[in-house]
């Protein structure tokens, strides 16, 4: 199992939402975490927005990984949001974003944070995986696709 699958409940997968811009998409992600994990939505928006101010989390090819460290968070959590219409995200390739994989980690979980981001970058760099994530119609099917993906890990 990959790291994302262990952090992503079905309730945190939303497909084809209306979001007019990056801020609206981040607010929707915060709302998911607030509703489904009992976290403070305003703190999450603040955390994600502060990270975006350091530099865009857009990877290119239509995907972004907004992420942040949240004080008081006990366990890492993730959400996937696919927007109905791609939104500007200041990605390095200049392309708008249609998929956001949002990651929150405890404030001091540096190694875990880096490991999850590394796997996400690997997953989202695969054209076939991006294609599947773009076309899957149901949240449960998207979650199953994510759970079935296996990262290439370096030999021990």
Provide the pLDDT for residue 108.
86
Q: How far apart are CA 27 and CA 122, in angstroms?
A: 26
Catalytic: which of 28, 67, 82, 113? 67
Q: Which domains does the chain have, with CATH numbers?
A: 3-148 (3.40.930.10)
State the pTM of this model: 0.94
Phi and psi dihedrals of 107, rounded to 5?
-50, -40
Active-site residue flag, 67? yes
Residue 110 has pLDDT above 80, yes or no: no
Pick the closest to residue 101 from 140, 71, 155, 146 (CA basis). 146
33-91 pLDDT per residue, tens: 999 999 999 999 999 999 999 999 999 999 999 999 998 888 999 999 999 999 999 99
Radius of gyration of the chain (CA): 14
């Amino acid at each position: 199992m990959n790291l994302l699958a262990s952090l992503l409940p079905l309730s945190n997968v939303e497909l084809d939402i209306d979001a007019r811009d990056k801020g609206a998409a981040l607010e929707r992600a915060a709302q998911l975490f607030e509703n489904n994990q009992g976290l403070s939505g305003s703190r999450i928006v603040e955390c994600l927005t502060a990270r975006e101010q350091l530099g865009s989390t857009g990877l290119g090819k239509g995907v972004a990984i907004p992420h942040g460290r949240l004080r008081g968070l006990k366990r890492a959590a993730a959400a996937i949001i696919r927007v109905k219409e791609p939104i500007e995200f200041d990605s390095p390739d200049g392309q708008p974003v249609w998929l956001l994989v949002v990651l929150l980690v405890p404030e001091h979980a540096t190694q875990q944070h880096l490991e999850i981001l590394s796997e996400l970058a690997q997953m989202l760099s695969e054209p076939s995986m991006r294609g599947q994530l773009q076309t899957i119609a149901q949240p449960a099917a998207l979650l199953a696709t994510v759970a079935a993906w296996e990262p290439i890990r370096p030999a021990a």
